Amino acid sequence: MIRVLVVDDEALIRKGFQHILDAAQDIEVAAAVPGSQALQATREMRPDVVLLDIRMPDVDGLTVLAGLRRLPHPPVVAMLTTLDMDEYVATALRSGAAGFLLKATDPEQLPFLVRTLAGGGTVLSSKVTRTVVDVHLKAGPQGPAARSLARLTDRERAVLVLIAEGLSNTDIATRMHLSTSTVTDHVSAILTELEVDGRVQAGLLAECACLLKPPRDQEGG
């Protein structure tokens, strides 16, 4: 069972998300609280995934995110917003958010997105993805992103393709017939080479460069 904490200043939003997610057999909303109660609720409920409003009147969502990331057992956090605000997107991703969703996300997609987050994947709405790519990465086939990607090995590029698809390390290991520890090492090397703070930015960098294709041989060895 995936335990979820919904954090939003609007009761209607909290109840809406709770209603949608509780209908899924493998998801349980442990609590739905305003921002001021987020850290305490996380300590008490130990959720797997937190859906966190980025802008709340009582507390800043980015401040809450930083607090959640400092916990001994930090949950996976995806930010919620009504706007594709580029400056907030970049800051949230640098601070460790695993996703960035618009509150208008299709209700039928929400359980799938939560499962993706719980499995170690990343989720971004297409509108948010375009914002990050257009405003923050600003690379093309001849830009710095492409040059960084060109320095990756074929296997690292194959791993990066799957990161960009939102797969977890375990799923990547299964797909490529590698051990999870080997995939973890590849991911670490990729983040270092690309000089990014996390797998979300790495995946977006790959998409931004528009040149990644899976190598012919993605098998282990």
Place of tokens 């799938």: 112
Return the pLDDT at 17. 96
Angle at 190 between CA 184 and CA 193, to 5 degrees: 145
Cα dist. 196→111, 182, 199 in Å?
A: 28, 20, 8
Q: Two tokens at 209? A: 């460069």
Strand partners, 102: 81
Residues constituting the chain: 221
Instruction: Report d(CA 202, CA 148) in Å as an integer.
Output: 11
Choice between 137 and 100, residue whose per-residue pLDDT is larger: 100
From the list 177, 198, 32, 182, the residue with the least C-alpha distance to 120 is 198
Confidence of residue 120 (pLDDT cuts 50, 70, 90): confident
Q: Two tokens at 203? A: 């995946």
Q: Which amino acid is at 121?
A: G
Q: Two tokens at 93? A: 């991703």
Domains of the chain by start residue, with CATH: 2-135 (3.40.50.2300), 138-209 (1.10.10.10)
pLDDT, one tens digit per residue, over 65-111 is 999 999 999 999 999 988 766 567 777 877 888 888 888 888 999 99
Tell me the whole-structure pTM to 2 decimals. Answer: 0.72
pLDDT, one tens digit per residue, over 192-211 is 888 777 787 787 777 666 54
